[in-house]
Amino acid sequence: MKVIIFAMTFVCLAVSAAYAQKINEDKIPATVLSNFKKQFTTAAKTQWEIEGADFEVNFKNSGVEYSAKYDKQGNWLETEQEIKNAELPAAVKSALEKEFPEAEIEESEKVTYPNNKTVYEMEIEKGKQKFEVQFSTEGTLLKKEEMHKKENKD
């Protein structure tokens, strides 16, 4: 019984550590904050989190929801931009319909990386299952991960 309780406690601690933790802007390293403000000069409603060793900021820019991720040295790692499903490239829509027939798109994002690579990430629901999927601009499936209720984004 003690082993089971210990194992469950360990799992709970590990899971809670895996999720991002909110942090005040005054705790963000100066280089991270400076690079963010240079890159997104009109960002509003910023909310910072620590995700592993990286810093993620959620914000609005011209009324559109974004998130950007930086490492502790201030290097930009990626930006996610919320988009309408209609804005998905035709190749992505076609591949999504082929891979996941009858799935409903819950949320769509355009993800941009420093090397100018762009991918499209979606949360989809098929029956009672939810997945996070990622496609290249050409429609190649790059990632498929089943989501559980706690992993759903707000």
Predicted confidence (pLDDT) per residue in 94-141, tens digit: 999 999 998 999 999 999 999 999 999 999 998 889 999 999 999 999
Selected from 2.60.200.30, 3.40.50.300, 3.40.50.10900, 3.10.450.360, the CATH number assigned to the domain covering 84-154 reads 3.10.450.360
Give the fold, CATH level 3, of 21-81. Nuclear Transport Factor 2; Chain: A, (3.10.450)
Alpha-carbon span 64 to 31, nearest angstrom: 25
Predicted TM-score (pTM) of the model is: 0.78
How do residues 2-39 score in pLDDT, each as one tens digit?
A: 433 333 333 343 443 445 799 999 999 999 999 999 99
**Residue 45, pLDDT above cutoff 80:** yes
N- to C-terminal Cα separation, the chain: 36
**Residue 59, pLDDT above cutoff 90:** yes
Taking alpha carbons only, the member of 38, 100, 102 closest to residue 134 is 100
